[in-house]
Amino acid sequence: MADVTLPSLGESVTEGIIIQWFKKVGDAVGRDEALCEVSTDKVDSELPSPFAGVLTEILVEEGDTVTVGQRLAVIGDGDGAPAPTTATPDATAEPAPSATAPPAGTPVAPPPSTSAAGASGAITSPFARQVLERAGVDPRGVAGTGPGGRVTRGDAEFAALGGAPSEGSGPALSAPMVGGPVGFVAVEAHYDAVERALGSSVAKAAVADGVPLDPFVFAVRAAVEALAEFPELNAAFDGAELVEHADRNIGVGVELDRGLAVPVVQAAQDLALRGLARRLTEVADRARAQQLSVDDLMNGTFTVMRSPSADVIFSIPVIVEPQVAILSVDSVVRRPVVVVSEDGGESVAIRSIGVVGLSFDARAIDASRAAGFLARIATLLSTQDWLAQL
């Protein structure tokens, strides 16, 4: 017999909801075969079986909230008969002989689980419950748009901002939910060197070969390089201690109908520009197709958010705990700017400009240092030989 437990589904994720069991007691299960669907505040994902055998016990029900490390099911080696189920017995079946002790493999009562269903019967995700509690919103008055009427993160945030008022509603959320005081700085970056590279025959050939290139990819590449000079941003707090990470594992914020997913590009510092472009697109596409694996959400050390709209001048993203910073990369637009020549003369020229912003945990870095990080990204974007990197 082997226990199936809820694995860690990403940093800061401590619990999930069992949405659906794909197997029933007595079914044969292959190693890595989908066993159940788990919903967290970050993503819905299928949990693969870590073992091959026969599913002999299911210890939690659909709709139950479970914590990381909690036993979900038991898988046997398949040599003996599967454990009895809790289904209604066949009236034609002969009763089992009495015994002084239950046979091995007989299911025991599962440990108590916290149901995610409110009084209305709607299931809420862990993050959604937290949002509603902080905003003082009664979950019974929130309409769920997720599968089976589940209240998603997006539903909860909409309700917290007054989209679905209910009795006892309190103030909307006004601050990111992170461990320390949060600051924000932003700078303008010139993308002319990037635009020239994108307009080259080399870039066009790369796109034709299936390499997805756009200004966002170049900004992420610049951020990965800049993090080497600002390691305190590629870090997380362990209690009061700031722990800097060796690898730069870049989370990519992907807006979904049900909320935000943050799949991770592992060891981004080891990827060339084309490889980074492919990986960024792959994880974003899998997030939108609800095909993320557990590994896709693990070990992020720094997150980058794309502009939510071409009309947005700049955005202030919320830090993904336990990380200490998140970068926003907003739209690139062509507009007139004042250009100062070496002799001090001024002229007006049309330039490609975009804003990059940083939300940061002030315990890890101050505003001056954060601004230095953004200035380094802006310098790389405007002076890097991007054509050579293609």
User: What's the CA gap between 226 and 236, in Å, rounded?
Assistant: 17
Average pLDDT, the chain: 80
pLDDT band for position 238 (cuts 50, 70, 90): confident
Q: Which of 135-144, 193-202, 247-256 has the highest mean pLDDT?
A: 193-202
pLDDT band for position 257 (cuts 50, 70, 90): confident
CATH number of the domain at 122-174, please? 4.10.320.10
Q: Is the pLDDT of residue 94 over 50?
A: no
CATH 2.40.50.100 correct for 2-83: yes
In this prediction, residue 11 carries a pLDDT of 56
User: What's the CA gap between 268 and 252, in Å, rounded?
Assistant: 12
pLDDT digits (tens, 9 = 90+) for 341-359: 989 999 999 999 999 999 9
Q: Is the pLDDT of residue 91 over 90?
A: no
Least confident among 30-39, 43-52, 118-127:
118-127
In this prediction, residue 122 carries a pLDDT of 53
Residue 132, Cβ density class (10 Å: 0-12 exposed, 13-18 middle, ≥19 buried)? buried
SS3 (DSSP) at 231:
helix
In this prediction, residue 173 carries a pLDDT of 29
Domain ranges of the chain: 2-83, 122-174, 182-389
In this prediction, residue 346 carries a pLDDT of 93
In this prediction, residue 64 carries a pLDDT of 84
Least confident among 54-63, 94-103, 178-187, 315-324:
94-103
In this prediction, residue 96 carries a pLDDT of 40
pLDDT band for position 304 (cuts 50, 70, 90): very high
Q: Percentage of the chain surpassing pLDDT 90? A: 46
Read off the pLDDT of each residue in 94-99 and give the average, rounded to a whole number: 41
Residue 119: CB atoms within 10 A of its CB come to 8
- Hey, which residues does 326 pair with through a beta bridge? 303, 359
Q: Is the pLDDT of residue 114 over 60?
A: no
In this prediction, residue 100 carries a pLDDT of 40
Residue that wins the pLDDT comparison between 73 and 38: 73
pLDDT band for position 162 (cuts 50, 70, 90): low
Residue 167: CB atoms within 10 A of its CB come to 8
Q: Is the pLDDT of residue 154 over 70?
A: no
CATH number of the domain at 182-389, please? 3.30.559.10
Nearest to 300 by CA among 128, 49, 42, 68: 42
Least confident among 95-99, 202-206, 294-298, 318-322:
95-99
User: What's the CA gap between 183 and 169, in Å, rounded?
Assistant: 28
Token pair 């589904």 in the structure block, residue = 9
Nearest to 201 by CA among 219, 189, 213: 213
Q: Is the pLDDT of residue 124 over 50?
A: yes
Kindly report whether the global pTM for this prediction surpasses the value 0.85.
no
β-pairing, 28-29 vs 346-361, is unpaired
